[in-house]
C-alpha cells in the first residue's frame, strides 16, 4: 500500500499510521526531505565554524543525501524506520539507548543515519509582529536529542580518546557530585570552557543530526505562504550551541544541565568507551522537567539561522501536491492540529478554485 507521501516506500509505519497525531509530524518532514533530495534541492546547513578566532554557527547548504548518509541512493532504495534506536550507538552504552525520530537504513538493513526531526512553524508568535526579515521559529530540544548528539560526536572522535580525556579531566575529576545543584552551578563555566576547547579542536568531525523542516504561514494566520516549505539541517556541534551559549546562573537551568550532561558524557566515554545513559540523562535532573532540555525562542533561533531562505523558502505551496499524493490523502488530515489545518485549508481552497474555474468554463 502507498503511504501517500513522496518517497516513503519502505517503512515500519503502516499506510494509516503516517496520518495519525504522533506520526505525521515526522512522516511529512521525511517526505519533504525525499522530495528535495529527488529534485536536487539542498537544505540550509547550520554548522559550527571558527570566525575571528571564535566558534560561530555558519549557514550554507547541504545535500539531503549527506543528512541521510545514503550516497547516491534514491528515496525508493531507503528504509525509513521511525521512533527506533540507531543500534550502532548501543556499543557505547551499558544500558538501553533511547529511540530517535528517524533511522535511515538501506534495503539490506544496514544502518545509515540517525535523524532527529523538529517540525516548526515560521513565524513564531513572538516574532510574528516584527518585520518578515526578523521572523524566526521556536525549537524544543529533547533529552534524547542531546544524548544522540554527544554519542554521535564520540563515534567520530573515539580514536582521540586520550586527548579528549586531557581536555575534560581536570575539571570533571574535581566534581564531587554531578547531581548537586550548588556545586554544578559553579562548575558550569569551567565545563563550557572544556567544550569550547573540544569543539574547536575536533570541528572537522561534526556531522548533520537534526532536520528542522519549516512551514511558513502568512503571519499568524493558518494560510500557507506562497513560499511555504524548507529544511534547516543542524550539525551535532552546531546544535550544541543552543545550550552551551546560554548564560549561566547561580542555580542549574535546563541549558546548564544540558552542558553538564554533554561534558560528563564525553569525559566518561574518554575513560572507558561506554556510559550509563540512565545516570547522565535521567538522574541529573536538578528539579527540572526531564524530557525537555531547552527551547530557544524564535528571536534566538533567527540569530543563528541567518540564511535568506528564511524569508523565501525554496519549496512553494503548490508543490505540496507532489509531496502529499492525491487523491484521497488530504482528507486524512486532522484539522484540529495546526499544520494539518493549514494543509487541509490549502487543499480545500484549491478544490473550490478548481470547481469555480470549471463552472466558469
pLDDT digits (tens, 9 = 90+) for 48-78: 999 999 999 999 999 999 999 999 999 999 9
Asked if residue 281 has pLDDT above 90, the reply is no
pLDDT of residue 356: 62
pLDDT of residue 271: 97
Which percentage of the chain shows pLDDT scores above 70? 96
Q: Is 3 among the domain residues? A: no
Q: What is the mean pLDDT of the chain?
A: 93
- Which pLDDT band holds residue 358 (cuts at 50, 70, 90)? low
- Helix (H) or strand (E) run with residue 66 in it: helix 64-68
Q: Is 234 among the domain residues? A: yes
**Alpha-carbon torsion, ordered 69, 70, 75, 79, to 10 deg:** -80
pTM over 0.85: yes
Asked if residue 298 has pLDDT above 90, the reply is yes
Q: What is the 3 state secondary structure string of 302-342?
A: HHHCCCHHHCCCCEEHHHHHHHECCCCCHHHCCCCCHHHHH
Q: Is 307 among the domain residues? A: yes
Question: What whole-number distance in Å separates Cα of residue 188 and Cα of residue 183?
Answer: 9
Among 197-206, 225-234, 287-296, the range scoring the smallest mean pLDDT is: 287-296
Q: Is 1 among the domain residues? A: no
Exposed, middle or buried by CB within 10 Å (0-12, 13-18, 19+), for 308? exposed
Across 322-350, average pLDDT: 81
Which range of residues forms the domain containing residue 75?
10-360
- Helix (H) or strand (E) run with residue 60 in it: strand 54-62
Q: Is 5 among the domain residues? A: no
Which residues are 61's β-sheet partners?
Answer: 44
Across 232-236, average pLDDT: 98
Q: Which residue has the higher pLDDT, 21 or 58?
A: 58
Q: For 29-39, write each residue's pLDDT tens digit.
A: 999 999 999 99
pLDDT of residue 359: 57
Q: Is 42 among the domain residues? A: yes
Asked if residue 334 has pLDDT above 80, the reply is no
Q: Is 2 among the domain residues? A: no
Asked if residue 354 has pLDDT above 70, the reply is no
Q: Is 285 among the domain residues? A: yes
pLDDT of residue 360: 58
Contact present, 41 and 54 (Cβ < 8 Å): no
Peptide bond into 306 cis (omega under 30): no
pLDDT of residue 194: 98
Q: Which residue has the higher pLDDT, 322 or 360?
A: 322
pLDDT of residue 331: 81
Residue 133: closest CA among 351, 270, 262, 312 = 312
Across 315-326, average pLDDT: 92
Q: For 90-113, write each residue's pLDDT tens digit.
A: 999 999 999 999 999 999 999 999
Asked if residue 231 has pLDDT above 90, the reply is yes
pLDDT of residue 20: 87
- Please state the domain count of the chain: 1
Across 180-196, average pLDDT: 96
Asked if residue 264 has pLDDT above 90, the reply is yes
Amino acid at each position: 500500500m502507498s503511504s501517500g507521501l513522496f518517497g516513503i516506500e519502505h517503512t515500519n509505519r503502516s499506510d494509516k499510521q503516517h496520518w495519525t497525531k504522533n506520526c505525521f509530524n515526522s512522516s511529512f518532514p521525511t517526505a519533504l526531505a525525499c522530495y528535495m533530495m529527488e529534485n536536487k534541492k539542498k537544505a540550509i546547513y547550520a554548522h559550527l565554524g571558527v570566525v575571528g578566532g571564535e566558534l560561530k554557527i555558519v549557514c550554507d547548504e547541504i545535500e539531503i543525501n549527506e543528512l541521510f548518509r545514503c550516497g547516491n541512493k534514491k528515496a525508493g532504495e531507503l528504509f525509513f524506520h521511525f521512533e527506533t534506536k540507531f543500534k550502532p550507538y548501543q556499543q557505547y552504552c551499558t544500558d538501553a539507548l533511547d529511540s530517535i525520530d528517524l533511522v535511515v537504513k538501506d534495503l539490506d538493513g544496514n544502518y545509515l543515519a540517525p535523524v532527529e526531526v523538529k517540525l516548526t512553524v515560521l513565524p513564531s508568535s513572538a516574532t510574528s509582529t516584527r518585520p518578515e526579515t526578523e521572523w524566526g521559529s521556536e525549537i524544543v530540544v529533547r533529552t534524547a536529542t542531546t544524548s544522540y548528539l554527544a554519542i554521535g560526536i564520540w563515534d567520530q572522535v573515539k580514536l582521540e580518546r586520550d586527548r579528549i580525556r586531557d581536555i575534560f579531566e581536570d575539571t570533571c575529576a574535581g566534581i564531587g557530585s554531578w547531581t548537586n545543584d550548588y556545586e554544578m552551578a559553579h562548575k558550569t563555566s569551567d565545563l563550557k570552557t572544556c567544550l569550547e576547547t573540544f569543539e574547536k579542536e575536533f570541528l572537522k568531525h561534526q556531522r548533520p543530526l537534526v532536520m528542522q523542516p519549516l512551514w511558513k504561514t502568512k503571519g499568524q494566520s493558518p494560510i500557507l505562504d506562497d513560499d511555504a516549505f524548507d529544511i534547516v539541517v543542524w550539525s551535532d556541534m552546531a546544535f550544541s550551541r543552543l545550550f552551551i551559549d546560554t548564560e549561566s546562573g547561580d542555580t542549574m537551568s535546563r541549558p546548564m544541565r544540558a552542558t553538564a550532561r554533554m561534558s560528563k558524557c564525553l569525559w566518561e566515554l574518554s575513560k572507558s568507551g561506554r556510559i550509563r545513559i540512565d545516570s547522565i540523562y535521567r538522574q541529573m535532573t536538578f528539579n527540572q522537567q526531564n524530557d525537555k532540555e531547552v527551547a530557544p525562542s524564535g528571536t534566538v533561533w533567527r540569530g543563528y539561522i541567518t540564511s535568506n531562505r528564511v524569508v523565501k523558502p525554496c519549496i512553494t505551496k503548490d508543490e505540496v501536491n507532489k509531496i502529499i499524493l492525491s487523491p484521497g490523502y488530504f482528507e486524512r488530515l486532522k484539522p484540529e492540529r495546526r499544520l494539518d489545518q493549514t494543509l487541509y485549508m490549502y487543499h480545500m481552497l484549491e478544490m473550490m478554485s478548481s470547481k469555480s474555474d470549471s463552472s466558469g468554463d
